[in-house]
Amino acid sequence: MFSMSLSDIGLESTPTDVGTFGTAANWNKKKGTMGADGGTIPKRCELVKKKKKAEKLERNVKNASKWRNCQLSQQPLKKPIIACRYGRLYNKETVIEAILTKTIGNYSVASHIKGIKDFKELKLKENKDYNGGEVKGDEYLDYNQSEFLCPVTAVPMNGVNGFVVNWKCGCVFSEKALQEVKSDACHGCGGPWDPKESVVLNPDEELLE
């Protein structure tokens, strides 16, 4: 009987190299992580993490500016500094000028301010180590540094820590101070303190809506 093997007619099969890709499941797994140019395709969870990280950074930068700049003029805050009932911070001179010229209604962030009863001048504890954001030579610029501190805990007023103002006297201190030091007196001046008469500074915008 005539017999012929595959090798006799040049059709000898080539053994599959399972060492490179292994099973079909492994091949599909590897194929799913490669782009058209052979590069790696980032997973969806990685893209989501990067997006959230970028959004958080943008939110932190925006939040920090609220503690450094007047909400009306966007110029750096300088004493005397005031806060409205919504907890927004302004330069007092800028607000007074806008009230006198009857232009304050043109600004959504301050249109609710009609007169002096609508804001409180703040009593702030200055940070003696604050250099105004300027550096000399090889000095390190600390972006968390703030011009003002909590008079009780010394935490910086930079947007990382929550702060409140006692509307009765204008004293400003951190929420951390309220948690750590229980008292019926104002943490700033020792005068009357009523939580219902306090205003949170720069709260989340969602809380104001």
User: What is this structure's pTM?
Assistant: 0.69
Tell the burial category of 5 from Cβ atoms under 10 Å away from its Cβ (0-12, 13-18, 19+).
exposed
Q: Would residue 117 count as lying in a domain?
A: yes
Tell the burial category of 88 from Cβ atoms under 10 Å away from its Cβ (0-12, 13-18, 19+).
buried
Query: Which among 157, 162, 147, 152 is positioned nearest to 190, based on CA atoms?
Result: 152
Host domain of residue 79:
52-129+144-207
How many distinct structural domains can be found in the chain? 1
Q: Would residue 69 count as lying in a domain?
A: yes
Residue 94 has pLDDT above 60, yes or no: yes
pLDDT digits (tens, 9 = 90+) for 56-68: 545 555 678 899 9
Residue 6 has pLDDT above 60, yes or no: no
Token readout for 94 is: 């800028």
Separation between Cα atoms, residue 144 and residue 141, nearest integer Å = 9
Q: Would residue 1 count as lying in a domain?
A: no
Classify residue 64 by its DSSP letter: H
Q: Would residue 161 count as lying in a domain?
A: yes
Q: Would residue 160 count as lying in a domain?
A: yes
